[in-house]
Structure 1
Amino acid sequence: MQTPEQPVLRDIVLIGGGHSHVGVLRMFGMKPVPGVRLNLICRDTHTPYSGMLPGYIAGHYGYDDVHIDLGKLAEFAGARFFRDEAVGVDRNQHRVLCRGRPPVPYDQLSINIGSTPQVQQVAGAGEHAVPVKPIHRFNDRWLALLERVRNHPGRTRIALVGAGAGGVELTLAMQYRLRNELRALGRNPDELEFHLFNSGPRILPTHNARVRRRFERVLAARGVRLHCGQEVNQVDAGRLATASGESLEADEIVWVTSAGGAPWLRDTGLELDEQGFIRVQDTLQTVTDPRIFAAGDIATMVDHPREKAGVFAVRQGPPLAANLRRAVEGRALKSYRPQSRWLALISTGDRHAVASRGGVGFEGDWVWRWKDWIDRRFMAKFNELPAMEDEAPKQASSVQLEGEEAQQAISAVAMRCGGCGAKVGASTLSRALGMLQPAQRDDVLVGLHAPDDAAVVRVPPGKAMVHTVDFFRAFIDDPYVFGRVAANHALGDIFAMGAEAQTATAVATIPSGLESKVEDTVYQMMSGALEILNDANCALVGGHTGEGKELALGFAVNGLVDDNLDAIMRKGGMQPGDVLIITKPVGTGTLFAAHAKLQARGRWIDAALTSMCQSNRQAADCLHAHGATACTDITGFGVLGHLVEMTRPSEVDAEVDLSALPVLDGAEETVAAGVLSSLQPANVRLRRAIRNQSEVVDHPRYPLIFDPQTAGGLMASVPAEGAEACIQALRELGYPHTAVVGRILPQGEALEPITLKG
């Protein structure tokens, strides 16, 4: 993650990862504004480029060829990437409401979420049709449909509703791909039957007659049956009906029409058009609220209405970025006028395309190659990110502030005090923490519910205390997710010993800035942490928050365990004949090192964060119940380091199967590229504990046994006779990557206790 030298004075929030916003992210990455922070809210990490989607459906491109990696792009732009879905805007408090996280405050807001299928307007369509839009969610539906067709015996009838350019192009792409799939399976491609429905009298209504006639001939030649003037008004399971009384049995029904604005926009108070799209001025500001912009399909330019087409969203990126920049700098905005004519290159499924512009139309294989060149050049701008400009001068930002905010900004860039002068202000802290609800426990006598100089906690009779502490700087830009991971990591030691978490005390450093920005960072981070602590019934009883250059968080955690050594799961205790189990995949160190270098795919980081946010509590209970003889959580020392910590006090040796090691997606690729955590070299020194290092050093997973983990899984030894039942129980609890990775052996005479096999 990038750590700006300037304190944050203004937040630009982008809702959605559409074609306009990817342009904004790239332009701000190329030339950031000091004191201005970008924030991207988007549920999906990989956003498709609509121009290449038909080629992907037809099988000409792979997934990564047609998707922009928002995680990588946001990292390049220095933007905080919130992987969530916006569900509302509180315009009075200037906050975006999200489905699964705290609200995100904004100073300027932009919406680029595309259109939403209005399937509810037709009875049964929402339940029985596959909507194409929003296209960033279409891939899962397409893959499921593809699998159903492959497994469907005999004739398959597919109906598509909507015969604009998108519907026609998608029909031909699907037909081309599915016929090829059936051929590859040794089946007759003529088993497929395609029907295309259109409520109007002709296909491609916004294109010229020559282009329409060409596609009518192509559809006819390929056996696609057109149903023009047939408005679909009823969809049932395996059947659709039209207003004129026509009915068709269909195995698959795909919806490519009737798109509108997202329903939550109606509650924002923004002025919308008849289809629910946001009405915007020539500056791309909404006509209702000058703080809010909109672009792409979700926006309707009042003075220059245009067809909903990807070309306009792409073209709106630069003027949107420029006006967002001007808005935060207090400068006058500029008007944007879209072109009245545009070039559309529409493919015919195979590597052939038709060009359409105004009254002109022409076609050929060379047109497809031309389209392919244009599309690949566009994608290269986001997949091959350029070097950023030299760092902005470290002077006061050009962002316009007034009154108290201006005084706070001057304070934020001034030399900061040390000692207690570096603490976060009491009012700022109390406001942030006042919105949180820590878990309440009867054994906490004095805690946050009645703050004092220190917490007072009762130790129940027959219990012993378990103490641990963890602290580290942020490795991602999202303070909410960082808080979840930090709390989960800190609790890991408690659970690994078979204890229950009782209380936690937080220690945090927060970068200086405007009070409102500091307050929100504390609130976001501690909201995430409290979700994890409360789920473990661990009461947050106090803490300390001070200023620092980088965001960091840690916890001192107290736990309770039966006052009996036999009830405690310890590192020592492994027995010869035990099997070695790991409950989570490894690879977080190399993946986040690669993320910082823009060399990790966003979906790899998503999967890593999901793993890091998963608690070890249930896994520890399960291992304890199945007679685990020793246990630890895998953290900074990696698999090998923690295994050595277990074998030495147990006075045993261990054999580990590298091929059985559960690994996070992408980790093998990043270590193979030589991207390693900064702690890896220190961990590699423990290779002296490996008996047969020369035999396995070239194994692709060998570097991963040294990879430091954050909020990693548990590693435990379990009696062999109960291992299968233990693994099954762990997987049923939601630890699907649980695996037996080795076995425990009697201690040999050699000094190296670990043997690896490939």
Structure 2
Amino acid sequence: MQENALIQTRDVVLIGGGHTHALALRMWGMKPVAGARLTLINPDPTAAYSGMLPGFVAGHYARDDLDIDLVQLARFAGARLILGAADHLDCEQRQIHVPGRPPIGYDLCSIDIGITSAMPDLPGFAQHGIPAKPLSDFAARWQQFRDADGPARIAVIGGGIAGVELVLAMTHALLSRGRETQAHLIDRGEILKGMAGATVSKMRAALKAHGVTVIEKAEVARVEADHLVLSDGRHVASDFTAGAAGARPYEWLSRTGLYCSDGFLQVNPALQTSSPDVFAVGDCAHMSRNPRPKAGVYAVRQAPVLVHNLRASLQGKPLSMYRPQKDYLKLVSMGEQRALAERGGFALSGRMMWRWKDYIDQKFMNQFRDLSPMAPPPLPKDRVADMAEALGPKPLCGGCGSKLGRGVLRGVLDTLPPPSRGDIQALPGDDAALLVVGGQQQVLSSDHLSSLTNDPYAMARIAAIHALGDIWAMGAEPQAATVSVILPRLSEPLTTRTLSEIMTGASETIRAAKADIVGGHSSVGTALTIGYSITGLCENPVTLGGGRPGDVLILTKPIGSGTVMAAEMQMKAKGAWVAECLRQMQIPQGEASGVLRNAHAMTDVTGFGLAGHLLNICQASGCAAELLTGHVPLLPGALDLARAGIRSTLYPQNAAMHPGLESGPLTDLMLDPQTAGGLLAAVPEGQVAAVLQELRAAGFPAVRVGQLVPGTPIIRFISG
């Protein structure tokens, strides 16, 4: 009975990381539904909170203060996170399409993708304008403009509350930096239409105090790089033109076949669209029976209803109805640390209102800060005495972090007899075997990984690139591969969906390496594991044993993946760091291998860490090495996490390979187990400049990280 309770049978997919979905993920993590597999699809690893955008623009908040970390939130909720922008939903096939990957199946789906203020019909806006939404893009471009020098000319198109808040915040930020500023607010009608008279008067006074020129009843004809042209021929100077003219739905929603109102998805009081299995919330939804303005307060209050109705749909229980309030408190930023509060036609403004707004915003964001992993189930009472010590205080890492240490592996392998066949050449230390087949030299290697991401498509690609590394490290061209997959226990539909994502990722990656998948094997286990056996062809294999004193060491990828992914499991890594780490692990090294085909020795940097694999070269080549630790490129966040004491579970065994080495954050990263890491090559001094130039031209961040030197096989770690 306990085993059956762990079977996942239904897919619940959330499209978009809007405020409602963020709250829903938190609620789900606190009380998950057994048997449901939750997935979040979002273009970025973070989602910006719109309520604090004016404060960031004005300079009152740091950029990170705006972000809800979806990587940490997904980990907390036990959800798969797929980084990509959905562009179609097929209700008939129950599939969500994300460019660049196979469709994602669903049984229940919810959409919370917000709105955009892009103006595709306004000539020049796509090239020279900046829509205020999506917020992440706007925030990055504003920060760059705000921190520049010299006079500043800005314009905001759209005189609603959002546009007024934005132009006041922008002007305040520029003036507070001592920059000479020209600011314009442009609207086709009157600004703040529909707001209470007291609110309009106070906000107009604030605009005047900040020196903002208000242009009303004027159409913008086109946007140029340094000015706008109005329909009456007037030119408005602007080097930064922002669009805040109303809410526009994303165009793909209208192609779903779901009922829409002006492009927004129509929902009933249960938040269901015209397809009962598809829900919609936040600004992308239109409440047909109780239309309301696009405001975050409604999105926040939809979250409990959405979570209840997703649970109820899975469990066959009645749905709840969402009943929006008729009016709500509006808190509007006024540039400096002042705000206006308005409800029912009554308005107050001042610093006290700002403190009130800040308190509400911080209270909302604090729900997503300092999330902690849910406690694992307790160990059985009747257990052997050393079980807790053997398990350790933290969960086992995925990828190479879960592998056996070098000492254990070598100790067992050394007990095996040497090859007895004449067509097999043993290569001490190399992960691949060299075979002779019909006079052709063939390389054979096998590798497998436990999952380090819940995205099966990305995991299949990472595992393939990891396995191909042994082939590329010998200067061989990949030939054929078989795939071995262990899936957790799933229902048949979820098994089919998952396996389809895995095999698509595997096929794309292996075919891109100019090889073919020729077979495979699958079984059911406790967790996702993906492995490959791969052959390659070569004329002059590059081995570990060809290095010579004086050779320069070149590395083609940054390191730190073990530390970053260990931190992700503990919910201590920033989502942006994790996203970049996953991206780097999916960068193939085939082209780099071709550039390095004349290297004296080469290895891929994987489980033993940079120092461990370099030690392998030293031992096979009979020389020592100097490793310039300060020159080694690191993944974003890796050093910060190492300073915080984060280590992969394989780190202690890697450290044992270098007795007497003094521990420190940077040195420890040299021992960090890598998954799908780069190539480390020993290149003759005379070829280094040309090789580095060719690698960098091909897009590899290759650097010189040390050299081989005469001496016994040890590594000297040199800082600086």
TM-score where L is the length of structure 2: 0.89
The whole-number CA distance in structure 2 between the counterparts of 1:388 and 1:546 is 29
Partners of 1:215 and 1:494 in 2: how far apart?
66
- In 2: Cα distance, 1:708 partner to 1:387 partner: 23
Q: Deviations over 1:450-499 (max 9, x none)?
A: xxxxxxxx988652110100012111100000000000000000000000
Which of 204, 212, 223 is 1:224 aligned to?
Answer: 212
1:606 aligned onto 2:593: no
Q: How does 1:199-278 map to 2 (within 5 A)?
A: 199-201=188-190, 203-274=191-262, 276-278=263-265
CA distance in 2, matches of 1:365, 1:712: 52
* Residue aligning to 2:688: 723
Structure 2 residue matching 1:382: 3-state secondary structure: coil
Counterparts in 2 of 1:667 and 1:5: CA distance versus 1, 3 Å = farther
Whole-Å Cα distance in 1 between the matches of residues 238 and 226 of structure 2?
5
Query: CA offset at residue 5 of structure 1?
Result: 6.0
Query: Offset at 1:240?
Result: 2.5
**What is the distance in 2 between the residues matched to 1:702 and 1:236?**
51
Go from structure 1 to structure 2 and tell me whether the alpha carbon gap of 1:731 and 1:126 turns closer, same or farther (over 3 Å shift): same
2:514 partner letter? N
Task: Determine the C-alpha separation between the residues in 2 that align with 1:157 and 1:367.
Answer: 29
Question: Contact 2:627–2:715 at 8 Å: present in 1 too?
Answer: no
2:186 to 170, 191, 197: 197
The answer for the alignment partner of 1:383 in structure 2 is 369
Distance 2:295 2:129 in 1: 23
Secondary structure, in 3 states, of the residue corresponding to 1:207?
coil
Task: Tell me if 1:734 matches 2:707.
Answer: no
Structure 1 residue 243, shift from structure 2 partner = 4.0
Q: CA deviation at 1:4?
A: 11
Which secondary structure does the structure 2 equivalent of 1:383 belong to?
coil
Query: Is this contact kept in 1: 2:372–2:571, CA < 8 A?
Result: no
The amino acid of 1:38's aligned partner reads L
SS in 1 for 2:630: helix
**Match of 1:303, as an amino acid?**
R
Q: CA deviation at 1:67?
A: 0.3
Q: Residues 73-96 of structure 1, C-alpha deviation per residue, up to 9 Å, x if partnerless? A: 011101110101111011111111
- How far has the Cα of 1:593 moved from its partner? 1.0
How big is each residue's C-alpha offset from its partner over 1:518-575, in whole Å with a ceiling of 9 and x where there is no partner? 111111111111111000111111111011111111011111111xxxx111111222
Deviations 1:724-754 (A, max 9, x none): 2212211111112x21111211115xx7443
Q: Distance in 1 between matches of 2:241 and 2:63?
A: 23
Contact 2:557 2:678 survives alignment (8 Å): yes
Paired residue for 1:162, among 158, 161, 166?
158
Q: Give the Å deviation of 1:193.
A: 0.4
2:266 to 268, 279, 286: 279
> In 1, distance between residues paired with 2:235 and 2:627?
63
Q: Over residues 276-335 of structure 1, what are the superposed CA-to-partner deviations in whole Å (9 max), with x where a residue is unaligned? A: 11111111111x111111111101101111111122212211211111111111111111
Partner of 2:640: 669
Shift of 1:233: 3.5
Conserved in 2, the CA contact under 8 Å of 1:468 and 1:558? yes
Q: 2:514 aligns with which of 537, 561, 583?
A: 537
Corresponding residue SS for 2:548 = coil
Whether the aligned pair in 2 keeps the contact of 1:30 and 1:389 (CA below 8 Å) is no
Counterpart contact for 1:504–1:557, Cα < 8 Å: yes
Q: Distance in 2 between matches of 1:270 and 1:145?
A: 40
Task: Name the residue aligned to 2:291.
Answer: 305
1:630 Cα deviation from its structure 2 partner: 0.8
2:390 counterpart residue number: none
Give how far 1:207 is off.
2.4
Does the 8 Å CA contact 2:546/2:600 hold for their aligned counterparts? yes
> Aligned partners of 1:139 and 1:576: how far apart in 2?
51
Tell me the distance in 2 between the aligned counterparts of 1:715 and 1:636: 13
Q: Distance in 2 between matches of 1:508 and 1:387?
A: 27
Asked if residue 6 in structure 1 is aligned to residue 19 in structure 2, the reply is: no
1:367-382 counterparts in 2 under 5 A? 367-382=353-368
In structure 1, how many angstroms separate the alpha carbons of the residues matched to 2:199 and 2:331? 11
Q: 1:26 to 1:301 in 2, by over 3 A?
A: same
User: What residue is the counterpart of 2:710 in the other structure?
Assistant: 746
Instruction: Provide the C-alpha distance between the structure 1 equivalents of 2:326 and 2:265, rounded to a whole number of angstroms.
Output: 20
Alignment of 1:569 onto 2:546: no
1:582 to 555, 575, 584: 555
In the alignment, which residue of structure 1 is the partner of 2:677?
712
Q: Which residue does 1:414 correspond to in 2?
A: none
SS at match of 1:621: helix
Matched residue pairs, number? 662
| CA separation of 1:146 and 1:645: change in aligned 2, threshold 3 A | same
C-alpha separation in 2, matches of 1:108 and 1:87? 17
In 2, Cα distance between equivalents of 1:389 and 1:172? 46
Distance 1:753 1:46, change over 3 A: closer
Letter in 2 for 1:525: I
**CA RMSD across the alignment:** 2.0
Change (3 A) 1:77 1:259: same
For 1:676 and 1:560, the matched residues in 2 are separated by 37
Shift of 1:370: 1.8
Q: What's the CA shift for 1:179?
A: 2.4
Q: For the Cα contact (< 8 Å) 2:563–2:672, is it kept in 1? A: yes
The 3 A distance-change label for structure 1 pair 708 and 386 is closer
**CA separation in 1, counterparts of 2:338 and 2:89?**
44
**Residue 329 (1) aligns with residue 315 (2):** yes
Amino acid at match of 2:302: Q
SS in 1 for 2:228: strand
Mark the CA change 1:370 to 1:647 in structure 2 (over 3 Å): closer, same or farther: same
Corresponding position of 1:142: 142
Where does residue 52 of structure 1 map in the other structure? 52
Asked if the contact 2:76/2:373 (under 8 Å) is kept, the reply is no
2:115 maps to a residue whose letter is: S
Measure how far apart 1:133 and its partner are.
1.4
Maintained 8 Å contact 2:479/2:535: yes
| 8 Å CA contact retained: 2:629, 2:717 | no
CA spacing shift, 1:333–1:389, aligned 2, 3 Å: farther
Q: Deviations over 1:91-150 (max 9, x none)?
A: 111111111211011111111001123512323323332111122332233234336xx2
Match in the other structure for 2:174? 178
Residue 546 of structure 1 aligns with an amino acid whose one-letter code is: S
Map of 1:323-402 to 2, 5 A cutoff?
323-385=309-371, 388=374
Report the counterpart of residue 115 of structure 2 in structure 1. Answer: 115
The AA in structure 2 aligned to 1:198 is D
Task: Please say which of residues 713-722 and 244-253 is displaced more in the overlay.
Answer: 244-253
Q: Residue 75 of structure 2 contacts residue 373 of structure 2 at CA under 8 Å; is this kept in 1?
A: no
Q: Give yes or no for contact 1:164–1:205 (8 Å, CA) kept in 2.
A: yes
Q: CA 1:594 to 1:386, structure 2 compared with 1: closer, same or farther past 3 Å? A: closer
User: In the TM superposition, what whole-angstrom CA distance separates every residue of 1:601-645 from its partner, at most 9, and x where no partner exists?
Assistant: 111111111111011111111112xx3111000111111111111
Structure 2 unpaired stretches of 5+: 379-434
CA contact (8 A) 2:470 2:603 kept: yes
**CA distance 1:144–1:673, change in 2 (3 Å):** closer
For residues 319 and 464 of structure 2, the distance between their equivalents in structure 1, rounded to whole angstroms, comes to: 44
- Once the two structures are TM-superposed, the CA of residue 237 in structure 1 deviates from its matched residue by 3.9
Taking the TM superposition and a 5 Å limit, the aligned residue runs for 1:644-723 are 644-688=615-659, 693-694=661-662, 697-698=663-664, 700-723=665-688
Instruction: Calculate percent identity across the aligned residue pairs.
Output: 41
Q: Which amino acid aligns with 2:319?
A: L
Q: Post-superposition shift, 1:205?
A: 2.1
